[in-house]
Amino acid sequence: MTTAAAAGDREVAIVGVHMTPQGRQLGRSSQDLMAEALFGGLADAGMDLDEVDVFCNVTFPDGNGLGATPGNMATLLGRPLVAAIPYSGPQALVYAAALIRTGQARTVVMAHGCAQPPPGEAVAAYTTPRYEFTDWTGSFTAAQFALQARRHMHQYGTTVEQLAQAAATVRNAGSVNPEAVMFGRGPYTVDDVLAARPIADPFTLLMCALVNDGGSCVVVTSADRARDCPHRPVWMLGGAVEQRFSTYYNVPTLDMLESRPRMVEAVRRAGVAHDDVDLLSVYDHFAIGPIMAVEAAGFCPVGDGGAFVADHCGFGDGRLPLSTHGGCQSHSHNMVPYNHTIIEVVRQFRGDVPDRCPGWATDDHTYDRSQCRRVADPRLAVVCGPMTGVFSTAVLGRD
Amino acid sequence: MADAYGASRGDRLADEFWDHLAAGRFVVPRCDRCGRHRFPPTTFCPECHGIDWAWTAVSGTGTLWSVTTVRVPPSPELAADVPYDLGVVELAEGPLVLGRLSADNPADVGTRPIGTAGTRPIGMAVALVVDPPAATGEPARYHFRPA
């Protein structure tokens, strides 16, 4: 990993993270959750708001309508910004790094908060976007990605058991995470996942993301500024974004897999070999998510993702632990949980990994997977997401 | 601006599509330069970027590209519809279109084990059916049936 390219790329660092409580119907506003995340992240970075040049946040057209849109951020913050970027997670991190590397900004915050409307609809409102060529057919998010999954099964031989294994792997990590909405639920076997309530073939309920409230924040800054921050920097070594069709509005396809060459090149330019990656954290809105992510990010050939996740994405020597916080299916899906993949990597690098091990607070873990989700001494990680028309990959490392 | 069914009025491309559909024709833009058919309607060709095109009725034949059975209604007004089959169809002219699949025997829908191909395998031949506007005010729609 320590090629000249990687060493030269230590110009951008993640120096602060914060996760608010995640849960169903927390009784708080979206803006309140965003603010807690924002100030928590800045406190973790040893910064205050005056240092922030750029704000990144995703707000869907419906829901989350309490003002925390990029267009309103300068008003909310009471100060001008270099930019308000309507993205989150790995995608925002790639753009943040570009602004920091070119000197247009020094500090970027990626802060998100979302409170779902009270229950009443059968599914969350944002999963049924109004669009004249899709919504009246009875399509919605789970169906859109079920169609993608069914095509993947047909074209590449992916099995429903492999989908269930991907769901079980992520959920079983979340089941020992006290911060996960589904803490204590599980562990699940493949049969448990397959026996759950059917939603849209081939997805059962346990292959689908949660719907809950919560906020998150990631603080990114230059290497110079990072040296004065309280935590050791987590380096953003490289990454790439590829924009493709919107799966919400267009017919679902597998075209996201065609972003693979750009993602493979981004990992190579970060000076990293896929085999050296210690931890993978992906946006898993549905069980097909991790399977397509490992293919698009270059961890296995296109079409082999089902087998790769089933055979390699556990814990232990030579394995690639996957979304060890529990992902969107067990930890949290607060409408836009894209930051969570990054936050999990930062916390694994720091050794701040709450689980059922008695000594977790002092980073004393048992590595007994019935109670532990700690990755042993991770140094390199890849984060990916989202899977909704755009795919992005970022490579993170520590000294 | 969207009506109660999500169909927009005020966008020339979309309005013309729905007007053709109401007259019984499923039309798509066909590029004058390279001949590519595209859907949903757009103003220039994603293949050759040509800006000249004409509405062209499709044959209505196609193959099933993917399929799912929806078991949970996405909204209360669809509660009576579940389970229903939703498919992506590759039209003979090329475009992919999302739509419902009609059931020859509605009792068969939703009975197959999850994850199996069942009676509607990907690759099966299907035909596009235009549903005329209803007296109740519902606009023209379309669905697919086994061919």
- Answer yes or no: do B7 and A250 touch at CB < 8 A: no
Give the model's pLDDT for residue B74. 87
Give the model's pLDDT for residue B44. 94
User: Per-residue pLDDT for B65 more than 80?
Assistant: yes
Q: What's the CA dihedral at A24, A145, A254, A133 to 10 degrees?
A: -110
Distance separating alpha carbons of residues A164 and A198, to the nearest angstrom = 12
Contacts of A252 in chain B (CB under 8 A): 66, 88, 98
pTM of the predicted model as reported, rounded to 2 decimal places: 0.93
pLDDT over 70, % of chain B: 82
Q: What's the CA dihedral at A221, A222, A223, A225 to 10 degrees?
A: -80
Tokens of B31: 């590029």
Least confident of A68-82, A84-98, A301-315: A68-82
- Mean pLDDT value of segment B73-101: 92
Which residues neighbour A123 within 8 Å (Cβ) at sequence distance 6 or greater?
A: A140, A141, A142, A211, B72, B74, B75
Tell me which CATH homologous superfamily contains domain A4-118+211-394. Answer: Thiolase/Chalcone synthase (3.40.47.10)
- Mean pLDDT value of segment A314-336: 92
DSSP character at residue A133: T
Higher-confidence residue of B32 and A61: namely B32
CB atoms within 10 A of CB A284: 35
Size of interface A-B (CB pairs under 8 A): 119
Q: Are the C-beta atoms of A360 and A257 separated by less than 8 Å?
A: no
Contacts of A135 in chain B (CB under 8 A): 6
Give the model's pLDDT for residue A3. 38
Higher-confidence residue of B103 and A306: namely A306
- Mean pLDDT value of segment A277-295: 97
Asked if residue B120 is part of any domain, the answer here is yes
- Mean pLDDT value of segment A74-80: 83
User: Per-residue pLDDT for A324 more than 90?
Assistant: yes
- Answer yes or no: do A121 and B5 touch at CB < 8 A: no
First and final C-alpha spacing in chain B: 36
Least confident of A145-149, A264-268, A297-301, A312-316: A312-316
The CATH number that applies at residue B119 is 2.40.50.840
Least confident of A16-25, A187-196, B100-109: B100-109
Task: Tally the domains of chain B.
Answer: 1
Distance separating alpha carbons of residues A348 and A360, to the nearest angstrom = 12
Contacts of B91 in chain A (CB under 8 A): none
Higher-confidence residue of B10 and A206: namely A206
Which residues neighbour B90 within 8 Å (Cβ) at sequence distance 6 or greater?
A: B62, B63, B65, B96
- Mean pLDDT value of segment A362-391: 94
Phi, then psi, of A108 in degrees rounded to 5:
-120, 130
pLDDT band at A31 (very low <50, low <70, confident <90, very high): confident
User: Per-residue pLDDT for B75 more than 50?
Assistant: yes
Instruction: State the complex-level ipTM.
Output: 0.91
Residue B135 Cα, gap to closest chain A Cα (Å): 18
Every domain of chain A and the residues it spans? 4-118+211-394
Which residues neighbour A56 within 8 Å (Cβ) at sequence distance 6 or greater?
A: A70, A84, A85, A86, A87, A88, A92, A95, A96, A108, A109, A110, A111
Asked if residue B4 is part of any domain, the answer here is no
Tokens of B13: 């491309």
Contacts of B5 in chain A (CB under 8 A): 136
- Answer yes or no: do A150 and B76 touch at CB < 8 A: no
Q: How many residues does chain A have?
A: 399
Give the model's pLDDT for residue A63. 41
Residue B138's domain comprises 12-146
Give the model's pLDDT for residue A388. 79
- Mean pLDDT value of segment B102-126: 70
- Answer yes or no: do A138 and B14 touch at CB < 8 A: no
Asked if residue B6 is part of any domain, the answer here is no
- Answer yes or no: do A132 and B72 touch at CB < 8 A: no
- Mean pLDDT value of segment A4-29: 84
- Mean pLDDT value of segment B120-125: 90
pLDDT band at B12 (very low <50, low <70, confident <90, very high): confident
Give the model's pLDDT for residue A62. 36
Instruction: Tell me what percent of chain B is helix, strand and coil, each rounded to the nearest 5.
Output: 10, 35, 55
User: Per-residue pLDDT for B24 more than 70?
Assistant: yes
**pLDDT tens sequence across A120-172:** 555 666 666 667 888 889 999 999 999 999 999 999 999 999 999 999 999 99
User: Per-residue pLDDT for B39 more than 70?
Assistant: yes
- Closest partner CB to A122 (pick from B72, B114, B141): B72
- Mean pLDDT value of segment A343-356: 98
User: Per-residue pLDDT for A246 more than 90?
Assistant: no
Give the model's pLDDT for residue A61. 40
Least confident of A62-71, A153-162, B40-49, B125-134: A62-71
User: Per-residue pLDDT for A249 more than 90?
Assistant: no
The mean predicted confidence, pLDDT, of chain A is 90
A→B contacts (Cβ < 8 Å), by residue, are 121-123, 127-128, 130-140, 142-143, 146-148, 150-151, 153-154, 159-160, 163, 194, 197-202, 204, 250-253
